[in-house]
């Protein structure tokens, strides 16, 4: 399955994320995106049901697995002040459908890191192949898993 970039920025390995839970792939494998510092519409990375939507993260459950998009590191502290939902929990989404409006520049102003891990959940047997390194546009292929 191909996972597309939920936002525009620079694709970076998870090992470079300044959070050991993500950097050590404890949540699962994937890629992170350092966003461009402007308001962005964050997109669904796969087709499926939006099973969780929080101000700092969301999960889309597809036919063969689930993908977590975490909007910045420690952004739960910001109490939802840097994002607005567009979609609703339980909604069926196509890959590339808008999920939330997000303000990474406000994350930076708050002194937090806006890097966004994009993670395959429940992935004990998953193998991830990186499809993007460096600059990536929202909606472009990011990685695939088997």
Q: What are the residue boundaries of the structural domains of the chain, listed by start? A: 2-145
The 8-class DSSP code of residue 21 comes to H
Beta carbons within 8 Å of 129's beta carbon, 6+ residues apart = 143, 144, 145, 146
Beta carbons within 8 Å of 141's beta carbon, 6+ residues apart = 2, 3, 4, 5, 131, 132
Rounded CA-CA distance 17/119 in Å is 12
In sign, the C-alpha dihedral spanning 69, 73, 78, 79 is positive
pTM: 0.95
Q: What integer best gives the mean pLDDT of the chain?
A: 94
Task: Write down the pLDDT at residue 124.
Answer: 61
Q: Which two tokens stand for residue 46?
A: 């796969």
The fraction of the chain above a pLDDT of 90, given in percent, is 86
Residues of the chain with pLDDT under 70: 123-126
The predicted-structure confidence for 57-85, as pLDDT tens digits, reads as follows: 999 999 989 999 999 999 999 999 999 99
Task: Write down the pLDDT at residue 126.
Answer: 65
Residues labelled as active-site residues? 70
Q: Which CATH superfamily is domain 2-145 in?
A: Glucose Permease (Domain IIA) (2.70.70.10)
Task: Write down the pLDDT at residue 131.
Answer: 86
Task: Write down the pLDDT at residue 24.
Answer: 92
Which stretch of DSSP H or E encloses residue 93?
strand 92-93
């Amino acid at each position: 399955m191909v996972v597309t970039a939920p936002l525009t920025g620079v694709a970076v390995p998870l090992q470079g994320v300044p959070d050991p839970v993500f950097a050590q792939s404890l949540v699962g494998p994937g890629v992170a995106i350092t966003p461009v510092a402007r308001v962005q519409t964050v997109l669904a990375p796969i087709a499926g049901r939006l099973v969780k939507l929080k101000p700092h993260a969301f999960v889309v459950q597809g036919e063969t697995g689930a993908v977590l998009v975490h909007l910045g590191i420690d952004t739960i502290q910001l109490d939802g002040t840097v994002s607005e939902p567009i979609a609703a929990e339980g909604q069926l989404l196509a890959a590339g459908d808008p999920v939330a409006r997000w303000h990474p520049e406000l994350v930076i102003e708050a002194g937090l890191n806006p890097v966004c891990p994009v993670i395959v959940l429940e992935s004990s047997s998953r193998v991830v192949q990186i499809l993007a390194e460096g600059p990536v546009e929202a909606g472009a292929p990011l990685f695939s898993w088997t």
